[in-house]
Amino acid sequence: MAERVRSEKDLVRRANRHLAVLRHAEEISGNVAATCRYYGISRTVFYRWKQCYEDEGIDGLKDRSSAPLHCPTITHPQVVEKIIHLRQHHHFGPLKISMYLRRYHDQEVSASTIYRILQRLRLSRLPASQRYKRHQQRWKRYEKQRPGHQLQIDVKFVEPITTDAGRKKRYYLLHRDR
């Protein structure tokens, strides 16, 4: 998203145009509605320009940023740094980042907020080499030279919970490792 940066000349030129509209209504037509129709602006804009000119002079007619001066719900920059670190170094998704921040940093950040932050920073998609792969692709089956090679079996006696006096049956648990 390329932001357009206006030069000081351009700001002065636009302020002079606004001043010309105000003077046209005052000196030439004498009618605000006719002037607004002629220049293709609304009367609300005209009166806003007029109020700014009366308050601040020609500097009041210059374009200003429409960004808010205070935003109480903005995510703290340190939290954004943690989100970026977790994404780049551990390849966590929004849900896992949210859980991690809640558990280890006592930060409550929703997964949707984390997703928007990642999208804004163009980190929402991982490279193909780091994405989750299905089990068929991820697991590699291996075969050994001899049957039973690297096979371990553990046998454990399990005492039955119910004790019948006449019953002498034993239970065993078999556990096989590769």
Query: Could you report the per-residue pLDDT of 127-163, keeping only the tens digit for each?
Result: 777 776 666 666 666 667 776 676 667 777 777 666 6
Pairing of strands 152-158, 171-177: antiparallel
What is the distance between the alpha carbons of residues 12 and 58, in angstroms, rounded to a whole number? 9
- Which one-letter amino acid corresponds to residue 85? H
Please state, for a pLDDT cut of 90, what percent of the chain lies above it: 42
Instruction: Please name every residue paired with 171 in a beta bridge, in sequence order, or none if there are none.
Output: 158
Work out the pLDDT band at 78, boundaries 50, 70, 90: very high
83 SS3 class: helix
Length of the chain: 178
Q: For the segment 29-65, what is each residue's pLDDT rounded down to a tens digit?
A: 889 999 999 999 999 999 999 999 999 888 888 888 8
> pLDDT value at position 100?
95
Among 167, 165, 170, 87, smallest CA distance to 121 is for 87
Is a pLDDT exceeding 70 seen at residue 166? no
Among 1, 10, 3, 11, smallest CA distance to 64 is for 11
- Among 21-30, 100-109, 126-135, the range scoring the smallest mean pLDDT is 126-135
